Amino acid sequence: MDCIRIEGRAYVGGRFARVRLGREGCKTVQFSNDYLILPGMMDLHVHFRDWGFAHKETLAGGAAAALAGGVVAVGDMPNTRPHIKTAELYRKRLEEGASLPIIYKLHMGVPEDLAELDAAKPGSVKVYPEDVEKYGWGHVEALMRRCVSLGCVVVFHCEDPAYFRGAERPPEAELRCVERVRLLASLTGARVHLTHVTLPQTVEMSRGWASVDVTPHHLLLDVENCRDPGLCLVNPRLKTPEVRKALLAAFVAGLVDMYATDHAPHTLEEKRSQSPPPGICSIDIALSLLLALWRRGIISLGDVVRLYSHRPARLLGVDVEGTFAVVKLEEFKVRGEEFAGKCRQTPFEGFIAFGRVMATAVKGRVYFREGDVYSL
């Protein structure tokens, strides 16, 4: 494999500077000021499917979509088939993920026998509403205490199933869950992260005891501008325009800690069915959607890097050193057919994004959009 050296304008340490990345004597590629080099992005919430769901996506396909979006590290979710809630399954999945071209991290599922946590020693554990429904809050509290001793982060999909009304998931379910988890966090001292939060009240209530992330779809889509019954179906549900705008205002004000996609592939046939599964594909264009907010002056470039690179890197335990993404500073229209993974449909179809990812560097290699790969 040929080696390459990248030269161009980068955003480093809060300022712009010309950089040279790579070794002397390698083929040099110079990028003009129409391009920008950013740190590699870290997506702490993805569903790369595969086990039991390879028709939706595979680990390899998920990794390709990540690279296409400038993402160099991911935190994959455990709700595969089988659900990854034993030490044996946890280790097996990590072994498979280690062969990917990106940095692969995995959130372990909630085991019935908490001794599985001692054997697996995960960096994080994902608690779903279904876990609360199956095991009860007492089991969740015990898990949180175990994670204090093991040093793992407890990641919550925070909706209390006691407040679900059939297929409806009212905002109250999120608020009551946050109240319960806040109490448990105070009792146990566990480190808590609330993922894909949808309400500005959640952002406010979490300050001081939990970190939170928001998704591109909860920031940019709502029940008025996204009406497709399949493509727009997601858990937690999209909210009203008023709630979405208030969440975006909290995001802009710097009250949200991180940005994550909840990239959740399904087939088009499934999404067009009478009972579509929840989930939206966006990892290919999530950075570009965020850069569009920077382009419009809504957030700073420093915000982009903090929200989608540095802070999630700390949560995942990933070093950003040696990773980067090269983006072309141009507007483009989102087209699902251009996505790199199996999932080619998205409710962001036709959105105007900014900053097309042209190359992504991770694990000592540079992956170009056109398919060329070089060592760095």
Catalytic residues: 262
Give dist(CA 272, CA 330) in Å, integer.
32
Instruction: Please give the full DSSP string across 68-116, using - where no structure is assigned.
Output: HTTEEEEEE-S-SSS-S-SHHHHHHHHHHHTTSSSEEEEPBP--SSTHH
Structure token pair of residue 331: 């507007």
Q: Are the C-beta atoms of 163 and 176 separated by less than 8 Å?
A: yes
**Residue 212: in which H helix or E strand, if any?**
strand 210-214
107: left (phi over 0), alpha (psi -120 to 50) or beta: beta
* CA end-to-end span of the chain: 10
Nearest alpha carbon to residue 66 among 367, 312, 290, 300: 367
Q: Are the C-beta atoms of 92 and 83 separated by less than 8 Å?
A: no
